[in-house]
Structure 1
């Protein structure tokens, strides 16, 4: 009996008769061009660029130009670098420059240390933790001028609450704002009291973002509280530390309103900073000299904060 041969027809292809794709060959899907970082067109950013140029770039370049002139509201005369030469020849102006650096370093250092300690306390299992967080942050919300006037009354050497409280326990209070050696430090302590709440909140956010697995593993290994703090919390809270340092340092170098409300740069020029010196020069009608002070303040903040920010961020990446 003859064997019957069957022929099978491949019916897996499309009904239209087109040739099916070879096995193993991937279908190419059109993709967006490489290097395109944003789906928005360039002109979409034009309004923001115009606002930035009008409110920042134009005033900045205008300040650099007018710092090289002797100007008033109606005319100006180009004098080159004479304003800067005169600035550094004035002892009071140089004192303001030194005080600015001292004030910025002291306040930022204290905010970092106190903010970290308060954050550790307020992330532990203590009673009324939420209420205490609100209390610590409350001074940040209060007007700086109001704080300055209040502490000016409290620190009054004759009848102020602080000295009166010290007198009860037999301590003679100093002239917080009238002693040339204490005036700047007293204002710095008030600035720390007002601003440490923000540093604490930043640290709290950094601490609560640390995975609990690290602490649980350390507990299994028998690590002490100090070892947890040193080897886990401090390294992993480094981004928060960088943020607190940069923000506190910028705020300290640019501080004016609190100092003006409490001491107006006195006694003498002992608590003057660049910002208060600039304001006094404007009041006296030396517009070119005060503009040069503004430029020096801008350059000082940039020269300190920019390298420090790059250094801290690089260390953070290496960690």
Structure 2
């Protein structure tokens, strides 16, 4: 009866009350939808980013993008940042949540320490780790030289710098995953664990058959958020390597930025941005739909 009454109340609400959503809708259209549609339009032009005149060139920017010899490396790097960061953030975020959900004396302090990097700017975090990994004078190489070993140019090595960036991004944001997992763990009723104890289940069986299934909503949220954040990673890359050497550590976001501002090729940069948008949308929607099916009602 209450739900029916509430529904009737909503339908009979004054007309002006139904207009309260309009400011938010207008802001969304102005700052999200319009720039996106403008970007789609620009991707079909040869606009240089500052001239008042430009020419419509159809799909030339998209043809150029898919024939670009560097686009494969950039897409691979973007996937490493996205998928790799998602895996590490969720694994370590869950481990920290399981540990800090227990009754230990310093759990409040420990939670704060794990979460603290999240509130630091990604650019600042990148610069902090730059001074750790840099070739000359970096803390890591100072330790190697202390033991008589030669320094390693990790940020200049194409085989290492992508993975270092992914690790730095994972380290910074695993605190977010931990907080979401902690909320999920604290919402699980203790009755399930008591029933499992009565059945003689050990810690692993309880985790696999009780904790993990009931944490699926938290896993869904974390995976989708981490995936989106990793696929559009920008600031840590710019601080650590600037996308170099060459295109070795560039993501689609840094390639788009450099194409627009350094090469003054706004049309091509917009085409890269549209491809990045489609990649993020496809991966996040697939992950969301797949994980939603795994959730326990």
**Which residue in the other structure is 1:216 paired with?**
194
TM-superposed CA distance for 1:35, in Å, is 10
**Which residue in the other structure is 1:251 paired with?**
229
2:208 to 219, 227, 230: 230
Counterpart of 2:110 in 1: which secondary structure? helix
**C-alpha distance in 2 between matches for 1:75 and 1:150:** 43
In terms of Rg, which structure is larger? 1
Counterpart of 2:243 in 1: which secondary structure? coil
Could you tell which deviates more after superposition, 146-155 or 33-42? 33-42
8 A contact 2:80–2:166 mirrored in 1: no
8 A contact 1:178–1:267 mirrored in 2: yes
Confirm or deny that 1:179 pairs with 2:179.
Answer: no
TM-superposed CA distance for 1:307, in Å, is 2.2
**Which residue in the other structure is 2:74 paired with?**
96
TM-superposed CA distance for 1:39, in Å, is 4.2
Which residues of structure 1 form unaligned runs of 5+? 1-29
Residues 287-313 of structure 1: per-residue CA shift (max 9 Å, x gap): 100011111111111111112212211
TM-superposed CA distance for 1:118, in Å, is 0.8
**Aligned ranges for residues 72-83 of structure 1 at < 5 Å?**
72=48, 73=50, 74-83=52-61
Residues 136-175 of structure 1: per-residue CA shift (max 9 Å, x gap): 0000011111111111111023331123334556766632
Distance 1:211 1:92, change over 3 A: same
Distance 1:231 1:186, change over 3 A: same
**C-alpha distance in 1 between matches for 2:149 and 2:100:** 32
Could you tell which deviates more after superposition, 134-143 or 124-133? 124-133
User: TM-score normalized by structure 2?
Assistant: 0.91
2:272 to 293, 302, 315: 293
2:120 to 127, 142, 152: 142
**Aligned ranges for residues 18-29 of structure 1 at < 5 Å?**
none
**Which residue in the other structure is 2:101 paired with?**
123
**Which residue in the other structure is 1:44 paired with?**
20
**Which residue in the other structure is 1:54 paired with?**
30
**Which residue in the other structure is 1:65 paired with?**
41
**C-alpha distance in 2 between matches for 1:164 and 1:231:** 47
8 A contact 1:148–1:258 mirrored in 2: yes
Q: Could you say which structure has the higher helix fraction? A: 2
User: TM-score normalized by structure 1?
Assistant: 0.85
Could you tell which deviates more after superposition, 218-227 or 82-91? 218-227
TM-superposed CA distance for 1:127, in Å, is 3.0
Confirm or deny that 1:242 pairs with 2:220.
Answer: yes
Distance 1:301 1:40, change over 3 A: farther
Distance 1:272 1:301, change over 3 A: same
**C-alpha distance in 2 between matches for 1:51 and 1:224:** 53
8 A contact 2:216–2:294 mirrored in 1: no
8 A contact 2:214–2:295 mirrored in 1: no
Counterpart of 1:150 in 2: which secondary structure? helix
Distance 1:61 1:38, change over 3 A: farther
Distance 1:288 1:139, change over 3 A: same
Residues 214-263 of structure 1: per-residue CA shift (max 9 Å, x gap): 11122222211111111111111111111110000000001101101110
**Aligned ranges for residues 96-115 of structure 1 at < 5 Å?**
96-115=74-93
**Which residue in the other structure is 1:274 paired with?**
252
Confirm or deny that 1:310 pairs with 2:289.
Answer: yes
**C-alpha distance in 2 between matches for 1:278 and 1:245:** 25
